[in-house]
Amino acid sequence: MSHAVKIASVEGLAGLTIGRLAHELRMSKSGLFAHFRSKQRLELATIDRASEILADEVLVPGKAAREGIERLWSLCDLWIKHIERHVFRGAYFFTGAFFESAGRQGPVPNRVTKVVSEWFGTLKDSVQAAQKRDEIKLDADAERISYQLDGLLVGAYWAHLQGGREAFREARSAILRLLASVATEELPSGAFGSLSAWRKFLERRDQ
């Protein structure tokens, strides 16, 4: 399924067909058709594989971080890192798939929406956990913060695709500024002064 994910990340789900995948794998089209039976089933299997990749690269290691604002930062930082390492060969898989599926109903659009919703849910849960730990202000809107963070991530990727060499560094700084704006006094203000200051703060916390 990794080959299918590569095709879809470059050409979109619309460009993924059993024939196209058979050519990529140098297999017979009839053999692959016997396995998937339809383009829809191929698309669903591809989305599931891409979801597993996202979980392995971002969600699982992100959730391993200390609960609270540190986990929230880790999720965002890992999201950027998986783009920097070109885990998906083309444009970010779920951004393209989400826009391709927007406004549509059916098994494929619904599966894409489910994955994207889980990502937003993970961000929101992390914000709420940070609020419970008194690291983010209780009156801050957790849902709004999660959408703002995702907007910074996707915006940075678009800037990167247009040649912005500093897009990801600027995104990390913007995320840090957003976190600083909603952080409580339990966290030292100096920790948000720069990326290096923030990383040093996290290192000290882990000691």
- Report helix, strand and coil shares of the chain as percent, to nearest 5: 75, 0, 25
The yes-or-no verdict on residue 15 having pLDDT over 90 is no
Top mean-pLDDT range of 15-19, 110-114, 192-196: 192-196
CATH superfamily of 53-206: Tetracycline Repressor, domain 2 (1.10.357.10)
- Mean residue pLDDT across the chain: 85
Average pLDDT estimate for 176-184: 96
pLDDT in tens, 50-106: 899 899 999 999 999 999 999 999 999 999 998 888 887 766 677 777 777 767 788
- At residue 109 the predicted structure's pLDDT band, cuts being 50, 70 and 90, is confident
Number of H helices, E strands in the chain: 11, 0
Per-residue pLDDT averaged across 169-179, rounded? 96
- Does position 4 have pLDDT exceeding 60, yes or no? yes
What ranges do the domains of the chain cover?
53-206
DSSP letter assigned to residue 55: I
What average pLDDT does range 133-158 have in this prediction?
95
